[in-house]
Chains A and B, each alone.
Chain A
Amino acid sequence: MRYLTVVCDQQCGLCTRLGEWLGAQPKWIGIRLLPSNLAADAYPTLAPRIAREELVVVSDDGGVYLGDHAWLMCLYALKHYRSWAKRLSSPTLLPLARSAFAILSANRLKISGWLQLKSDDELAVQLSAVQPPRCHC
C-alpha cells in the first residue's frame, strides 16, 4: 500500500478539517484528497457508497474502507497516529472512531494523556463524552 485516496464531502466541517490536518501531518503512506462530487467519475462503481457515506477511503491496491474504518485508515497513514489506528480498531472502540478522530485532529496535548489509560472501556467512556460535529451527508 503506497497511498490512500480520501473521498470527503467538502461541505462537511469535520471533513474539511480532516483535509487540512492530514496535509500537515508526517505520513507513512501518501494521502490524496478527492472531493466527493468528483469521486463518482474516478470510482463509478463506488458512486452509491460515496453518496451514502460521510467518508470513503480507497487504497491504491483497491481496498475500500467505509465508515469507522475510513476514519481509522486516515490515522493509519500518519506517522504519529498509526498506533492509534490499531488501538481504536478494537470492537469496543471502533464505533467511537469518528469521535476519536475529531479529538485527535483538534487537540493533541489532551489526548496524549489518555494514552495512559489502561483499558479500552476507560477510553470508550472518554470518547463517548465527545460530540463531534455531524455532517449532513
Chain B
Amino acid sequence: MFIVYSYFVYLAISLSVTVWVAKTLHRRGRVFLVDAFHGQQELADSINHLLVVGFYLINVGYVAFALKSTENPANLRQAIELVSDKLGLVLLVLGGMHFFNLFVFSRVRRRAQESLAPPPFPPDAVLTASPHLQGS
C-alpha cells in the first residue's frame, strides 16, 4: 500500500508547487510584459496567459509522465525516499521552466526597449523649410 500513498503524496506536492510557480509567474511576469508591449495591457495579459497555459501543460504533463515507479516501497522510509526522488526531479524541471520563462520575458522586454531607442547620435544637419542646412 505504501506505493499508492507515495503516488498520492507525490501528486499532491508536485501539483501544488506547479500551481504556486505558475501563479507567481503570472502575477509577477505581467509587469515585464506590460512594459515590453509599451503599456498595451490587453496584449500583455494575453501573452501572459498563453505562457502560463504552456507552463501548466509541460509541467503537469511531466508530473503525470514521471509518476510510474518500478520500485515497491516496503516501509515508510523507502516510501519517503521514493517520493523525495521523484519530487526532486519535478522541482528541477519546474526550476528550469521558470528560468526559461524569465529568459523569454527579459528577451521580449529588451527587444521592445531596443525598438524605442533613439539614434545613438544627433543628425549632422537638419532639413528645414529654409533653403539652407542647419547644423554642421
Size category, A interface:
20 to 34
Query: Interface with A: B68-76, B78-86, B111-119, which one?
Result: B111-119
**Residue tally, chain B, CB below 8 Å to A:** 17
B77: Cβ under 8 A from any A Cβ: no
Least CB distance from A64 to B in Å reads 4
Give the complex CA separation of A20 and B103 in angstroms.
34
Decide if the interface of chain B is mainly helix, strand, loop or mixed.
Answer: loop
A64 CA / B123 CA spacing, docked (Å): 5
Interface flags, B120-136, vs A, CB<8A=1, else 0: 11111111100111010
* Minimum CB–CB distance for B23 against chain A, Å: 34
Of B117, B122, B126, B132, which is within 8 A of A62 by CB? Answer: B126
Residues of B within 8 A of A58 (CB): 127
Contact A85 B115 (CB under 8 A): no
Give residues in A with beta carbon < 8 Å to B: 1, 28, 43-46, 49, 58-59, 62-67, 69, 72-73, 76, 79, 82-83, 85-86, 89
Binding site for A on B (CB under 8 A): 114-115, 117, 119-128, 131-133, 135
